[in-house]
Amino acid sequence: MNVSIAGLGLIGGSLALALRSRHRVTGFDSDAAARAAAGSAGVTIVDSLDGLLPADAVLIATPMSAVVPTLAALCPRADSALLMDVASLKRPVAAFAESARATARIVGGHPMAGATASGFDAASGDLFRGRPFLLVPTARSDGDAMALAGTLARDTGAVVSVCSAEVHDRAMAFLLAAPLAAASAVALAGAEAYPLLALAGPGFRDTTRLADTPLDLATELLTSGTDVHRAIDAVIENLGALRASIDGGRHEQVRDTLRAGKRVRDGLR
Amino acid sequence: MNVSIAGLGLIGGSLALALRSRHRVTGFDSDAAARAAAGSAGVTIVDSLDGLLPADAVLIATPMSAVVPTLAALCPRADSALLMDVASLKRPVAAFAESARATARIVGGHPMAGATASGFDAASGDLFRGRPFLLVPTARSDGDAMALAGTLARDTGAVVSVCSAEVHDRAMAFLLAAPLAAASAVALAGAEAYPLLALAGPGFRDTTRLADTPLDLATELLTSGTDVHRAIDAVIENLGALRASIDGGRHEQVRDTLRAGKRVRDGLR
């Protein structure tokens, strides 16, 4: 198939590398350096967004804020091509699809993989191998569109699953945004451990690892979803309850709260 | 030297294994199974706390709540033996030393190493290698006592440093207790990501890893220090400020906060 990719950073670049053994992959990035890096790695490059069409599918791997504008630019000329974004929020795409032309084919996608590095140079054809790839149907997702999206997602080596935009975005607020906010808040508080901060062990380092997320991505993750507020509030409430139990000397209650947190984590396995 | 160890769990057991090539190590644990496990590993075992004396040094590696009672039980009979605990709070030991007999030799110690596993079976003679080992002088720490404590700490393979009880306990609240509380709070909130919780990636897993801390130790860490309240409050305040910036659409402020957290973390390297 002819698969086009808009945005050749870590995710778009990794999609290009993962899919090129089975598909004819063409890429575009608004940044000339990213185009050059992908071109050197053997990806066929075009020098405008328009050049990505015609195609069987266009994957939109731009920064989150550019996803809907890119969809809007491509949609009128896309004919029956599948348009699938791969950002970590799905409600904006679902809302765009509601008002897109009746014959458009739009599916939301979210390959749940990443790295603290960014850009094409950090891209890898194995980034998605064994990781979840969520597909979110929209008002413009017919059976063919979902089937094609499933094929492409599977061809990246990922494990494909399907859910609604609402379930997806709420879950991501709790699994991505809240941990990022907490990591940053704990790191910032850690300054008060001076002069012993440098002695921080693996516990502090693991808890704050997400505070190393590239600033553009981190800012976007925290400011883009309507569920982020709720997820951060839940963490604040849990911390407040724990502090109240500690203050009240209710050690059994502290233990019960810790046990409940441990149980959620046990559910990950 | 004759080195006795009270408490043969992860830390006490690891001290026994680390020190026995250079010293005659004798151990005691109130739990018969722990005594048997350490005995099978070749540690000389006595069947009462009293049996640990006479000695050149007694290391107290009991759970935190038993540290001061164990010091109190040993002190009257310890003669010039160094008494050094290895718990993660130092103010209670400093306070005990204030009122101990004038000839007592008491130093607070804190080898900053651990594991999510517990008990003698998880002990390793390499646990402290290259890790920080903080020494906290008390009102009963003369030069000989500090020198002996330094020798023993170095003989575990650790890197020795010295600080006051106040600096130590405040730092630990920010480096141990606050991350633990945040990890637990994020894990607990994560239940709301159902049915996608199982898809949680390395970010969520790392941030919540400390929620797997054994319950006894975790409860003790959160309920024992007077600085824990302040450290959890600092995290809550940072999260509240971040949420307020997000709510107000002040993306530059979100970015500035994230940048400040990142900078603290950069200071770890």
Interface of B with A in 176-215 (CB under 8 A): 176, 178-201, 203-213, 215
Least confident of A118-122, B71-75, B159-163: A118-122
pLDDT of residue B92: 94
Question: Which token pair is A269?
Answer: 């396995």
pLDDT tens, residue by residue, B198-244:
889 889 999 999 999 989 989 999 998 789 999 999 999 999 999 99
> What is the mean pLDDT of the segment spanning B68-78?
98
For residue A185, pLDDT over 90 is answered with yes
Interface of A with B in 102-131 (CB under 8 A): 112-114, 131
pLDDT category of residue A45 using cuts at 50, 70 and 90: very high
* B219–A251 CB contact, under 8 Å: yes
> What is the mean pLDDT of the segment spanning B58-84?
97
pLDDT of residue A118: 85
For residue B115, pLDDT over 90 is answered with no
Detail the DSSP E strand segments found in A156-199: 159-162
Residue A249: Cβ within 10 Å count? 9
Cα gap B129→B120, rounded to integer Å: 18
A69 contacts: CB under 8 Å, gap ≥ 6:
none
* B261–A201 CB contact, under 8 Å: no
pLDDT of residue B57: 98
Angle, in degrees to the nearest 10, between helices B178-190 and A178-190: 170
A139: closest CA among A165, A160, A161, A162? A165
Interface of A with B in 226-265 (CB under 8 A): 228-229, 231-236, 238-240, 242-243, 246-247, 249, 251, 254-255, 257-262, 264-265
Per CB-CB distance under 8 Å, the chain B contacts of A114 are 201, 203
B148-157 as b/e: b if 16+ CB within 10 A: bbbebbebbb
Is there a contact between A100 and A74 (Cβ–Cβ < 8 Å)?
A: no
Q: Please measure the distance between the N-terminal and C-terminal CA atoms of chain B and give it in whole angstroms.
A: 37
B88 contacts: CB under 8 Å, gap ≥ 6:
B64, B110, B172, B176, B221
For residue A269, pLDDT over 90 is answered with no
Is there a contact between A84 and A108 (Cβ–Cβ < 8 Å)?
A: yes
Q: What is the CA radius of gyration of chain A?
A: 21
pLDDT tens, residue by residue, A19-30:
999 999 999 999
Interface of A with B in 137-166 (CB under 8 A): 161, 163
How many distinct helices (H) and strands (E) make up chain B? 11, 8
* B168–A249 CB contact, under 8 Å: no
Residue type, A143: G
Q: Does B170 touch chain A (CB under 8 A)?
A: yes
Of B213, B222, B239, the CB nearest to A182: B239
Per CB-CB distance under 8 Å, the chain A contacts of B184 are 238, 242, 257-258, 261-262
Cα gap A264→A268, rounded to integer Å: 7
Question: Which token pair is A37?
Answer: 């890096």
pLDDT tens, residue by residue, B133-156:
999 999 999 999 999 999 999 999
Task: Match 């290895």 to its residue by tokens.
Answer: B86
Is there a contact between B70 and B6 (Cβ–Cβ < 8 Å)?
A: yes
> What is the mean pLDDT of the segment spanning B109-122?
87
A165 contacts: CB under 8 Å, gap ≥ 6:
A90, A91, A93, A94, A108, A136, A138
* B163–A195 CB contact, under 8 Å: yes
Task: Annotate B187-208 with DSSP letters as a single string.
Answer: HHHHGGGTTSGGG--HHHHHHT
Give the CA count within 13 Å in the CB-facing half-sphere of B86.
30
How many distinct helices (H) and strands (E) make up chain A? 11, 8
Measured in angstroms, the CA of B134 and the nearest CA of chain A are apart by 10
* B185–A239 CB contact, under 8 Å: yes
pLDDT tens, residue by residue, B3-39:
999 999 999 999 999 999 999 999 999 999 999 999 9
For residue A62, pLDDT over 90 is answered with yes
Per CB-CB distance under 8 Å, the chain B contacts of A165 are none
The share of chain A scoring above pLDDT 90, in percent, equals: 90
* B196–A231 CB contact, under 8 Å: no
Q: In whole numbers, what is the pLDDT of chain B averaged over residues? A: 95
Residue A82's beta-bridge partner residues?
A57, A105
Measured in angstroms, the CA of A93 and the nearest CA of chain B are apart by 19
Residue B248: Cβ within 10 Å count? 10
Q: Looking at beta carbons, which pairs linking B92-98 to residues 24 or more positions away fall under 8 Å?
A: B92/B67, B92/B68, B92/B224, B93/B67, B93/B68, B93/B136, B93/B138, B93/B165, B94/B136, B94/B138, B94/B139, B94/B165, B96/B68, B96/B71, B96/B72, B97/B138, B97/B139, B97/B140, B97/B141, B98/B138, B98/B139
B217: closest CA among B115, B121, B101, B77? B115
pLDDT of residue A225: 78
* A236–B231 CB contact, under 8 Å: no
* B236–A231 CB contact, under 8 Å: no
The share of chain B scoring above pLDDT 70, in percent, equals: 99
Chain centre distance of CA A204: 25
pLDDT of residue B131: 94
Q: Does B6 touch chain A (CB under 8 A)?
A: no
pLDDT of residue A184: 98
> What is the mean pLDDT of the segment spanning A66-80?
97
pLDDT category of residue A267 using cuts at 50, 70 and 90: confident
pLDDT tens, residue by residue, A128-180:
999 999 999 999 999 999 999 999 999 999 999 999 999 999 999 999 999 99
pLDDT of residue B201: 86
* B229–A212 CB contact, under 8 Å: no
pLDDT of residue B224: 84
State the ipTM, two decimals.
0.85
A56: closest CA among A183, A161, A144? A144
Is there a contact between B258 and A218 (Cβ–Cβ < 8 Å)?
A: yes
pLDDT of residue A208: 97
> What is the mean pLDDT of the segment spanning A96-108?
97
Cα gap B83→B56, rounded to integer Å: 9
DSSP B17: H
pLDDT of residue A266: 87
Detail the DSSP E strand segments found in B101-183: 105-111, 132-137, 159-162
pLDDT of residue A125: 96
For residue A78, pLDDT over 90 is answered with yes
Cis peptide before A195 (omega within 30 of 0): yes
* B192–A257 CB contact, under 8 Å: no
Of A205, A259, A264, the CB nearest to B268: A205
Per CB-CB distance under 8 Å, the chain A contacts of B193 are 170-172, 174-175
> What is the mean pLDDT of the segment spanning B67-78?
98
Size of interface A-B (CB pairs under 8 A): 301
pLDDT of residue B226: 83
Q: In whole numbers, what is the pLDDT of chain A averaged over residues? A: 95
pLDDT tens, residue by residue, A225-243:
789 999 999 999 999 999 9
A151: closest CA among A91, A107, A96? A107
Measured in angstroms, the CA of B29 and the nearest CA of chain A are apart by 24
* A192–B170 CB contact, under 8 Å: yes
pTM of the predicted structure, to 2 decimals: 0.86
Is there a contact between B262 and A116 (Cβ–Cβ < 8 Å)?
A: no
Residue A201: Cβ within 10 Å count? 15
> What is the mean pLDDT of the segment spanning A249-263?
96
